[in-house]
Structure 1
Amino acid sequence: MGADLESVGRGLAARLGAQKVWAGTPSPYGPAVSGGAAVAQRAAVVVRCADAEDVRAAVRAARDAGVRFSVRGGGYEREPQEGVLTLDLAAMGHVEVDTAARVAAVGGGATAGELTAAAHRHGLAAAAGTSAGAGVAGIVLHGGPGPLTGRIGLAADNLLAARVVLADGHLVTTDETREPGLLRALRGGGGGLGVVVSMRVRLHRLPYLSAGAIVFAWSDAAAVLAGLDGFSAPELTVTAGVLPGPGGAPVLLLVPAWSGAPGAGEVQVAALRRLGSPLTAHVGPLAPPDLLALFDAHRPAGAHRVVLTRPLASVAAATPMLLAAGRTLPSPLAAVFLHPVHGAAHPRHHLAEITAAWPSGLDGAGSAELTWAHRTAAL
């Protein structure tokens, strides 16, 4: 651990209280997502922020010492890195729902699962990506396609306002009338604009939601993918996935989510099933929290993980990559999900999410998965 980071940690412990600052090794967290490499257990300084003033203090301390900082919002951000001050916002995970306004006030440490569950308790739905454990702020900052994108837009589209600690430690509020340029930049602009300590997001009332999983044998994959571009109703969002089946052989997964009239949804799902001969098909009324659980079934806790993304114009454009990825899956926890992005605010396209995971604590583990993920993203 560098002397500057040690000094920052001691200063913050004196100012904020020793219970809010963790310093040492190994990391206080389990394995985490990596954007490109396995992250070793390293010496770290973590500030467990309770409010915006804690965040401001940590950002200013890092700035004054010339130390880089990173933010941990939900459960899938990078674990602490050597020489980098980590701001842990887990204690800022509140979610408050205004049912009449259909708006949620969300803390910077809230997860998609917490937001989705809170909205559902009030009969509402949120645009919250595809992983219950991911931080809402991170999802919004990176766009946030999800299984309801066609009907309610990306998570970024539903950001109404935010309170942000900038790199100089100033706390600003942004909405359509105050700092509107910052609000636009936060909607999918990435995580380099500041630390989002709270936000207000739009919620939606969905009178009906039907969703589930349709699994096809790999021999059907090319034919099924060839037919997917024909499904363009805004009430229907179909996520495609290439992943290992129960016996290890690749399968093609479709996750349709229909939020229109019930009868029309049954017609759409029947048409999807006719694209091939499904091995299994379970689609029916489903609550939004349970829809997120369909995706999290392939994201086990306690594993190292790499996640890469790639935009593609259509399913047809993505098909060669999906088929090649399926033929070369390196482990039971490797997969590619193809998320559709469409709606009034976006030209129709797709985002490929390439994921691979491996057990923690195994010497040399992860090299095959990392190689596969990067090769797939480059196809």
Structure 2
Amino acid sequence: MDQGNTAFILIAAALVLLMTPGLAFFYGGLVKAKSVISMMMMSFGAMGLMGVLWVLYGYSIAFPTTAEGTTQVPWAIDFTNFSLAGVLEAPEGAAYPPLAFVAFQATFAIITVALVSGAIADRAKFGAWMVFAAIWATVVYFPVASWVFNFGLADDGSFAYGGWITHGLQDVFGVGAIDFAGGTAVHINAGAAALALALVLGKRVGFQKGAHVPHNPPFVLLGAGLLWFGWFGFNAGSELAADNTAALAFVNTIAAPAAALLAWLIVEKVKDGKPTSVGAASGAVAGLVAITPACASLTPFWAIVLGLVAGAVCALAIELKFKLGFDDSLDVVGIHLVGGLIGTLYLGFFANGSGLIYSGSLNQLLVQAIAAFTVMIYSFVLAFVIGFAVDKTIGFRVKNEDEIAGIDTVVHGEEGYVLSDTRG
């Protein structure tokens, strides 16, 4: 067993787990001061809920044991791995313990669910959110993770065979969809669900451009910094080995978000006259989203180009909610759905070896589009159905008067900022 690679995977898992508290700060700074606790609690709630569900049955759905050379059906559960019973021991000759991979992928499930919450900031009930998250993860995230990341457990303990989006499409088109670290399974998946929930819950009171401004930009910058730091584990760690591919993913995780940050600021300067700190943070995140599927399949030059495209397009895409009339509170759609689509489709043109400019073939673009839009439609439809059912049964949205007053005290009995103690 390679202790170096085992340590690499475990450290990467810890980095990815840190992304969720980072997201809590990023989202928390963007909302009203009176709903910062509510916003951050949805991320921490996802940590608790998904940590338990992943161990109980999430891994069993996402990574059922697969026979060598075969592709798992689109939705399956492996009862031998219920509560991780089948992966507690490392097979002889394994490159690393299967539990290291289990831990790494658990952090992906946590951050994906937490991302969705940004679309319903300032107006969602915590209990309803937790119910939605549990159902959505079970019927959407776990199966989609299997479509993309479902590496069958071989006799030596290695993970070698992809799900239908990767291995299955390769059997049909000669190339499989490339999604190295989760452009489809994480970002498009979460972004589509966020759009569905935004439609289910409706607009915030007083929703219009300029009506809701971030209450704490330093929180936003802190969160973006923690996200970027953790993203190195997200992208480089997905190689599951400390090698040259991981190093390429690491470098591209510097280059693309750096370029996206600059592009977002340029768009802000041209459009609004001033580059903002929130724009810098948002641009970096947009670049991180876009490079996620592509980090191991682009040269650093093309990673910079991708960052410039993603930063500029996402800076414009966040305006869609005002033009189309949906209230995606914290721009999950504009950054994660749009950024994920850009990064996934971009590979059809510039992926090393198989992209259009290298191969002269459109097959890579075709399979990238199949993967992206299948996940988007699947997630949107089921998230809308689940959200609608939760809303009609236990209610998903707080009362308008509670939203106006600030939902922290109503939902959690706490305030984000206690400036004076009047209790005596």
Do both share a fold (TM > 0.5)? no
Higher helix share: 2
- TM norm structure 1: 0.28
- TM norm structure 2: 0.25
